[in-house]
């Protein structure tokens, strides 16, 4: 298939051109001789790599913690309509049995395929978090970090673990960070009441990422820099929930200038109410009320979001001076690097997977392709 007359979004520029897709891959960009009879005229739409969401709990009325392949597939099919072509289903601080049940379902979908977005692996959010920065995690299931407990949780599923969020100040966390980072697992600072010094020490032990910047972590203060200060004062990556609720737009602009767009990932942190009407839902077994684009526990704490990545991109693009290609990079290539699939996903390049999306000037998704196959059209 040839997609012509499209504005191709590269990592560092946008240029008008055409893309030849063959056998699920990008065979050639701007081919001079093409005999392919299957031609799609994009009529000036943007074409970008598919979005990659490395922190998402649910969508379409389903939750990762449902522990079923059907729920993972529903999430996959729901978010693909908003341009997300790959994701890491994210678990919660719940019982070990429930985490393992979810890991089994995720592995099953990852291996057997899905009807929508690719499952790249798992993000474990907890259970090694701080009760002092609990957010919407369940305090009843917090565990002390240890290598043995981690191995008990992931036994038989080690190969699908991409990342883990943990509080670095809790006893045992630094040893676990050293162990996991040596295995190539992304250790992310989050749900933490750590000091600046404790966070820096964790980074020196191998922590290389931080979970939902500003949320559920010690803030930046001019005398106590906190975890936010450690993130700004180091080269680790971070992620933002760019819905205008979790972080104000001026603070988002400050964060992007400080960290640079190479080191920030746009995430949804979406829960089951994503793409659903207002009402009562749950997250990790806790009641959540969704109203006017906000998901909160009954105590008022933010409980994930109802954000989709196309909306996150639109929000950042309209509320910053960043060029569109840099915003798209934060939602695609940076996530691919995080998941270590950037040798074949996350950018428009010859030989890469044809996970592609077409959208207009207002980031309205028009078509989605996964491995060259059209999976959504509006």
Spell out the domain ranges in the chain. Answer: 2-46+361-377, 50-345
Of 2.30.40.10, 3.40.190.10, 3.40.630.30, 3.40.50.720, the CATH number of 2-46+361-377 is: 2.30.40.10
pLDDT band at 113 (very low <50, low <70, confident <90, very high): confident
Catalytic residue list: 269
Task: Please tell me the predicted confidence (pLDDT) of residue 332.
Answer: 98
Q: Does 170 score more than 90 pLDDT?
A: yes
Give 82-147 as a DSSP string: TTEEEEEEEE-S--HHHHHHHHHHHHHHHHH--SSSEE--EEEE-SS--GGG-TTS-GGG-----H
Residues 6+ apart with CB under 8 A from 132: 193
Task: Please tell me the predicted confidence (pLDDT) of residue 36.
Answer: 74
Q: Does 35 score more than 80 pLDDT?
A: no
Task: Please tell me the predicted confidence (pLDDT) of residue 115.
Answer: 78
Residue numbering of the annotated binding site for Zn(2+): 125, 191, 212
pLDDT tens sequence across 293-322: 999 999 999 999 999 999 999 999 999 999
Residue numbering of the annotated binding site for substrate: 136, 215-216, 223, 246, 302-304
Give me the phi and psi of 363, to 5 degrees please.
60, 35
Of 3.40.50.2000, 2.60.40.790, 3.20.20.140, 3.40.50.880, the CATH number of 50-345 is: 3.20.20.140
Residue numbering of the annotated binding site: 125, 136, 191, 212, 215-216, 223, 246, 302-304
Mean of per-residue pLDDT scores for the chain:
97
Q: Does 34 score more than 90 pLDDT?
A: no
């Amino acid at each position: 298939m040839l997609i012509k007359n499209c504005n191709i979004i590269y990592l560092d520029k946008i240029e008008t051109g055409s893309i030849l897709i063959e056998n699920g891959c990008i065979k050639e960009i701007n081919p001079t001789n093409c005999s392919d009879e299957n031609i799609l005229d994009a009529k000036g739409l943007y074409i970008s790599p598919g979005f990659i969401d490395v922190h998402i709990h649910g969508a379409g009325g389903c939750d990762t913690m449902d522990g079923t392949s059907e729920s993972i597939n529903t999430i996959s099919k729901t978010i693909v309509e908003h341009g997300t072509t790959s994701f890491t289903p994210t678990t919660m601080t719940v019982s070990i049995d429930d985490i393992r049940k979810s890991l089994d379902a995720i592995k099953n979908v990852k291996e057997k395929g899905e009807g929508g977005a690719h499952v790249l692996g798992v993000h474990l959010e907890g259970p090694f978090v701080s009760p002092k920065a609990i957010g919407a995690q369940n305090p009843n299931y917090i565990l002390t970090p240890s290598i043995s407990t981690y191995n008990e949780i992931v036994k038989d599923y080690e190969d699908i673990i991409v990342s883990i969020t943990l509080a670095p100040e809790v006893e045992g966390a630094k040893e676990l960070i050293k162990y996991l980072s040596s295995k190539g697992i992304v250790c992310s600072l989050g749900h933490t009441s750590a000091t600046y010094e404790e966070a820096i020490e964790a980074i020196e032990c191998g922590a290389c990422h931080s979970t939902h910047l500003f949320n559920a972590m010690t803030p930046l203060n001019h005398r106590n820099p906190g975890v936010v200060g450690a993130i700004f004062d180091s080269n680790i990556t971070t992620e933002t929930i760019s819905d205008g609720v979790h972080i104000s737009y001026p603070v988002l602009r400050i964060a992007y200038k400080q960290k640079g767009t190479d080191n920030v990932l746009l995430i949804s942190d979406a829960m089951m109410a994503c793409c659903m009407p207002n009402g009562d839902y749950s997250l990790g077994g806790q009641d959540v009320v969704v109203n006017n684009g906000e998901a909160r526990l009954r105590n008022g704490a933010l409980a994930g979001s109802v954000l989709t990545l196309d909306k996150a991109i639109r929000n950042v693009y309209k509320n910053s001076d960043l060029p569109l290609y840099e915003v798209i990079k934060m939602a695609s290539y940076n996530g691919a690097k995080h998941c270590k699939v950037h040798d074949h996903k996350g950018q428009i390049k010859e030989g890469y997977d044809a996970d592609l999306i077409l959208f207009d000037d207002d980031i309205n998704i028009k078509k989605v392709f996964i491995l060259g196959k059209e999976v959504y059209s509006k």
